[in-house]
């Protein structure tokens, strides 16, 4: 049996990069997938691609920084697929960094609103739905190696990603006895995503590859395979953990 057979899942930030790969791999593992993103065209194309490949998918336009969008997302998923079993709360941005004295308040607010409050909103409505159903669930949040250690110009990004790990642990404890497991993944430098392929980030990415003990960046499938396992019953005694998937980066 496939690892996510008959499960219904949400993937946020599904239109590109790590989210896109995970949505495709969730569907291949047997899940019905709700794709949530602000990028409509790419998200709708991905839903069609999953359906063409024999899977079940629906795209639901969602801005995770808007709590009402997230509440609506969970309602629509349950309306469409009848339940919610797992979620990958992955939408995030990585704005060009500046030291804190030079950082505008708007950059701070936007980063926290999407990367941290967005995960808070997803957890809130996903856990509420899983509690109504009464048979547990599995949720994975995307943090970062920059949620474990930090780097230059990353005050807002790093604060948001450290926050995701704190949220993960707190919510895991609150719902552990209800069978809802909550974990985080902490990707290191992952190539083939919109963030890492942007020409202005190339120098940083080359440097990151050199700083990685394995000497190269990861691929989106390195993350999706761990997320599938964490959402599956194979990891049913694991909750509140932050798994670094980083070629050894945080082991220095
Ligand atoms: N690529 C890396 O090296 C790396 C490393 C560590 C952590 N991450 C994290 O992984 C996650 C995915 O990033 P990625 O590398 O695949 O980048 P990406 O830019 O390819 O994907 C991010 C997705 O999130 C969507 N998104 C942005 N704002 C949104 C919002 N308000 N509401 C809904 N969707 C929104 C984007 O449209 C995009 O589809 C992010 O949380 C990022 O911080 C990435």
Ligand 1 atom at shortest distance from the alpha carbon of 142: 41
Confidence tier at 110 by pLDDT (50, 70, 90): very high
Cα dihedral 115, 119, 164, 245 in deg (nearest 10) = -80
- Name the residue among 39, 23, 43 with its Cα closest to residue 31: 23
- Boundaries of every domain in the chain: 8-251
- Name the residue among 117, 124, 88 with its Cα closest to residue 14: 88
1 pLDDT higher than 80: no
Q: Does residue 183 contact residue 243 with C-beta atoms inside 8 Å? A: yes
Ligand 1 atom at shortest distance from the alpha carbon of 63: 32
Ligand 1 atom at shortest distance from the alpha carbon of 15: 39
Phi, psi angles (nearest 5°) of residue 25? -75, -35
Q: Please report, rounded to a whole number, the percentage of residues in the chain having pLDDT higher than 90.
A: 92
183 pLDDT higher than 90: yes
> How far, in Å, from the CA of 134 to the mean position of ligand 1?
31
To test the pocket of ligand 1, the residue of 17, 61, 71, 159 to mutate (highest count of ligand atoms within 8 Å of its CB) is 17
Instruction: Give ligand 1 pocket residues (Cβ under 6 A).
Output: 12-13, 15-19, 37-39, 62-65, 90-94, 114, 142, 144, 187, 189-190, 193-196
Q: Does residue 126 contact residue 10 with C-beta atoms inside 8 Å? A: yes
Catalytic site positions: 157
Q: To which residue do tokens 């639901």 refer?
A: 60
Confidence tier at 201 by pLDDT (50, 70, 90): confident
- Reduce the secondary structure of the chain to three states and give it as a string: CCCCCCCEEEEECCCCHHHHHHHHHHHHCCCEEEEEECCHHHHHHHHHHHHHCCCEEEEEECCCCCHHHHHHHHHHHHHHHCCCCEEEECCCCCCCCCCHHHCCHHHHHHHHHHHHHHHHHHHHHHHHHHHHHCCCEEEEEECCHHHCCCCCCCHHHHHHHHHHHHHHHHHHHHHHHHCEEEEEEEECCECCCHHHHCHHHHHHHHHHHHHCCCCCCECHHHHHHHHHHHHCHHHCCCCCCEEEECCCHHHC
Fold annotation for 8-251:
Rossmann fold (3.40.50)
To test the pocket of ligand 1, the residue of 94, 141, 242 to mutate (highest count of ligand atoms within 8 Å of its CB) is 94
19 pLDDT higher than 90: yes
Supply the residue whose CA is at minimum distance from atom 40 of ligand 1: 92
Average confidence (pLDDT) over 156-180: 98
In the structure encoding, which two tokens stand for residue 7, read together? 């499960």
Give me the pLDDT at residue 159, please. Answer: 98
Average confidence (pLDDT) over 58-77: 99
91 pLDDT higher than 80: yes
- Name the residue among 82, 74, 86 with its Cα closest to residue 137: 86
Confidence tier at 198 by pLDDT (50, 70, 90): confident
């Amino acid at each position: 049996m496939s690892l996510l057979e008959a499960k219904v899942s949400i993937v946020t930030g599904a239109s590109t990069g790590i989210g896109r790969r995970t949505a495709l791999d969730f569907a291949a593992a047997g899940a019905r997938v709700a794709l949530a993103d602000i990028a409509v065209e790419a998200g709708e194309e991905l839903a069609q691609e999953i359906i063409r490949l024999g899977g079940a998918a629906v795209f639901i336009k969602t801005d995770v920084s808007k709590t009402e969008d997230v509440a609506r997302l969970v309602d629509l998923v349950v309306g469409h697929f009848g339940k919610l079993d797992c979620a990958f709360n992955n939408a995030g941005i990585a704005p060009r960094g500046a030291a804190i004295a030079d950082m505008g308040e708007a950059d701070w607010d936007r980063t926290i609103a999407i990367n941290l409050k967005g995960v808070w909103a997803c957890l809130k409505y996903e856990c509420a739905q899983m509690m109504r159903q009464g048979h547990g669930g599995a949720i994975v949040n995307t943090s970062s190696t920059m949620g474990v250690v930090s780097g230059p110009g990353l005050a807002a990004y790093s604060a948001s990603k450290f926050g995701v790990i704190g949220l993960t642990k707190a919510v895991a404890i609150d719902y552990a006895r209800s069978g809802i497991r909550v974990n985080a993944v902490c990707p290191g430098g992952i190539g083939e995503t919109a963030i890492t392929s942007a020409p202005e980030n190339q120098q940083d990415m080359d440097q990151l590859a050199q700083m990685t003990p394995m000497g190269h960046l990861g691929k989106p499938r390195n993350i999706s395979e761990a997320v599938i396992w964490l959402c599956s019953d194979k990891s049913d005694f694991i909750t509140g953990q932050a798994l670094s998937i980083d070629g050894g980066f945080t082991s220095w």
